[in-house]
A and B are shown apart, each in its own frame.
Chain A
Amino acid sequence: MLQVGLTHFLVVSAILFSFGIYGIVTRKNAVMVLMGIELVLNAANINFIAFAKYGNFGFSGQMIALFVIILAAAEAAIALAIVLNIYKTFLSVNVDEIDHLKE
């Protein structure tokens, strides 16, 4: 019988992280990029929980995961506000078009 161990959690987390990165890098819509960020954050959360379960760290992992969730919520709020402002300025949320940082 397949025993679910730390490795499985880490693999799930790595897949999730890769999807997140893929989303960040490839999506054109700024909102989709934000969702990619959420995936990356949650991948990190899985890692924290997994290490908390299999390591001898007490509740630190769970505590940090809670913090990350709160942080992600706050970040999502601020990021959506920024996206709204970007839309106001550029009338678009297509990150390909927002390249004013170019030289």
Chain B
Amino acid sequence: MSESLIINLSVLILFLPLFGFTTVIFLGKKFPKLYLFEVAILTSALLLSIFVLYAKLTFFNVKDIIAEFTWISMNNLPFGDVININLGVKIDNVAAIMLFVVNLISALVHIYSIEYMRGDRYYTRYFAYLGLFTFSMLGIVITHNLLMMYIFWELVGLSSYLLIGFWFHKKSAADAGKKAFIVNRIGDIGMFIGILILFTNYKTFTFDVIFEQIAAGNLPFGSEAWLTAAGILVFMGAVGKSAQFPLHVWLPDAMEGPTPVSALIHAATMVAAGVFLVTRIFVMLTADAMLVIAVIGAFTSLLSATIALTQNDIKKVLAYSTVSQLGYMIMSLGVGAYVFAFFHLVTHAFFKACLFLGSGSVIHAMHHEQDIQKMGGLKKKMPITYWTFLISTLAISGIPLTSGFLSKDGILAGTLAFGKLTGHWLIPITGFTVAALTAFYMFRLVILTFHGEPKDHHKFEHAHETPWVMTAPLVILSVLSIFIFYTPNPISPDAGWFMKNWVKTPTQVVPDNTRYHHMVESTEEAKAEIHGEIVHSVEYTETMHWAHYPAMLMSLIVAGFGILIALIFYTWKKVNADKLADKLKLLYKGSLNKWYIDELYDKTAISGTLNFSSILAWFDQKIIDGAVNGSAWLTRVVSKFSGWFDTFAVDGLVNFTAFFSGFVGFSFKKLQTGKVQTYIVFVIFSVIILLLLFKPF
């Protein structure tokens, strides 16, 4: 087993979907069956990525495999040294796992889409776009530098735009695509500025080189504030892609795209790219930057969980749940629980993809009905969808024996330890509140959709279980939501291979005085002792241990509480939800209308932009056009003048010449008598005059 094999395979995995994309997009019209080729390519990429994951974890578990080449080399720059821009691939355990996750979900979504999208007008194009997306996402995963990260980041944004607006003839879908693209762009600007700050200082885009420089005490512009700023700015990219407040507004609208796309892009992989980005830059985050990240994550998760409570569109509920869970991961990174954030990313990818594909199955069966108030009783009609959906719901709610329990518990323990060590207790409180809300709205969703009496009998009669190509991915994903794949001990992730062997919190490289004192052991002896092994301080490790069981207990209690309330409201109907909504009208309205954030943006940012644009338009029309028209007018005047000059001066001269010649001719024509004798007289006189003039004698 050699490193180059892993590198070559990773690059091959990266380019396979691109090959699929180009083939299908160009030849798809001629050969409609070509979508099967795309599915086959993704399946082979999946098999390769399984092999890469296995090889990486078995043979190179602690070693990061990096390969790079110089793409652009700039010499003789005005400001001195040589700049080499390297492109390359970095396969560490995180990348290898992500490679597998992305390929797996992408392959399953491909298979699922064969049935879900059947009969669509742009069937092959859909598969081509999926291929493009997979390519871009894999690029983000395996790159070793910020430049490629940014390029693939934008490519992901593009493919997301294409797929959200896939049914572009629907205005809402086209608008949603535009919204996603523009909102993402706002975050990307921050990310780009952050990247440029780092590049200006370190003359390289490569992660590891930048981190080495920071570790060597070489700060951007020599100041810690700039390091914090760079961290937060790069994080802004994640705010956009991972739909964090205040840029979360695009993700719920993105549900206008086909449901498998929502599962692949807007639940499992692309939105996790932001989280992945933060894991990549984690080591250069200062305490201040981490606090910002934690607060944004916590606030987002709470905000969107409260919105999810009242939504009636099955996909909207899941969308807000996704935003909430992404907030969880971001918060987890902010409090330093790096491993749990990544762990939750992986587990969430599986169960949320399963939930979305399950909702797609329901929507498919109900003939594109998405309102959960009109569903109900589907349990009997769609058993496979129901059971897989239920397992995933249990996982997202954090019920034991599921993967979600392990990862969520870890995050909550991390926040709890964070609260204890730093005194920011609001963050763990938010975490637990969100856990309760999540359990509530997810069970509300399940109960309203699958239990109780059917509300729309006509549609219910026609509902049926979907074919195996759609249920098989559900089964695979729900099985992956069971704890056994991650740890042998269903209540403690610490014992599992995932936590113990595969993913480790990297050592932060920021200066000692800018990081949380608990993140790294600060005394020199302790540093020497733990070199390369445990990166956290003993205090932090102990606090995490202390937090583990209380967090687990409390998360169980709050999840149980949430489920209980959902049961009271919707199964036993002890409390009428509508009446309660009437009583808490203000809160209910706010939640239902997403706290009016869209309206707020409409009133401020969007109308501000529009007003500014109309000022610009006015400027264009009056000043620029005025100048243009004025110059046209001036030209016309000058032309008139020069025309006049032509007519009178130039033509006048010409005519005068002609007239003068005519006049002279007229005056002298009398001389031409036609009589030879007259001429002879002229000649003789002329000769005489000449003789007199020249006097030769």
B-binding residues in A (CB < 8 A): 21, 24-26, 33, 95-96, 98-103
Contacts and interface: CB of A to CB of B under 8 A. Distances in A.
A26 B681 CA distance: 10
A25 B680 contact: yes
Interface stretch (B181-189, B524-532, B668-676): B668-676
A56 to B, nearest CB: 20
Given A95-B675, A96-B675, A103 B669 contact: yes
B677 A95 contact: yes
A24 B680 contact: yes
Contacts of B684: 21, 25
13 contacts: A26-B677, A33-B676, A95-B676, A96-B675, A98-B674, A98-B675, A99-B673, A99-B674, A99-B675, A100-B674, A101-B674, A102-B673, A103-B669
A10 to B, nearest CB: 12
A101 B680 CA distance: 14
Contacts of A25: 677, 680-681, 684
B675 A103 contact: no
B672 A102 contact: yes
Contacts of B674: 98-103
Interface residues of B, number: 10
A20 to B, nearest CB: 11
Contact of B677 (A24, A102, A103): A24
B691 to A, nearest CB: 13
Nearest to B670: A103
Nearest to A28: B677
Contacts of A26: 677
Nearest to A25: B677
A22 B338 CA distance: 135
Interface in B646-697: 669, 672-677, 680-681, 684
A33 B672 contact: no
Contacts of A103: 669, 672, 674
A100 B676 CA distance: 10
Nearest to A101: B674
By secondary structure, the B interface counts as helix
Contacts of A98: 674-676
B529 to A, nearest CB: 128
> Among B669, B673, B676, which residue has the most Cβ atoms of chain A within 10 A?
B676
A46 B684 CA distance: 20
B677 A101 contact: no
Nearest to A96: B675
Nearest to B677: A25
A21 to B, nearest CB: 6
Contacts of B675: 95-96, 98-99
Contacts of B680: 21, 24-25
Contacts of A99: 673-675
Contacts of A24: 677, 680
Given A21-B684, A96-B675, A102-B674, 5 more contacts: A24-B677, A25-B680, A95-B675, A95-B677, A103-B674
B640 to A, nearest CB: 43
Contacts of A102: 672-674
B145 to A, nearest CB: 96
Nearest to A33: B677
Nearest to B675: A99
A43 to B, nearest CB: 14
A21 B680 CA distance: 9
The 6 tightest CB contacts between A and B, nearest first, are: A99-B674, A102-B674, A101-B674, A103-B669, A99-B675, A25-B677
Nearest to B684: A21
B696 to A, nearest CB: 16
Nearest to A102: B674
A16 to B, nearest CB: 15
Contacts of A95: 675-677
A57 to B, nearest CB: 19
A82 to B, nearest CB: 11
Contacts of A100: 674
> Among A98, A100, A101, A103, which residue has the most Cβ atoms of chain B within 10 A?
A103
Contacts of B681: 25
A25 B677 CA distance: 5
Contacts of B672: 101-103
B482 to A, nearest CB: 122
A30 to B, nearest CB: 9
Nearest to A99: B674
A99 B678 CA distance: 10
B319 to A, nearest CB: 103
Contacts of A21: 680, 684
A15 to B, nearest CB: 16
A77 to B, nearest CB: 19
Nearest to B665: A103
Interface string B476-494: 0000000000000000000
A21 B684 CA distance: 9
B227 to A, nearest CB: 104
A22 B684 CA distance: 11
Interface string B592-626: 00000000000000000000000000000000000
Contacts of B673: 99, 102
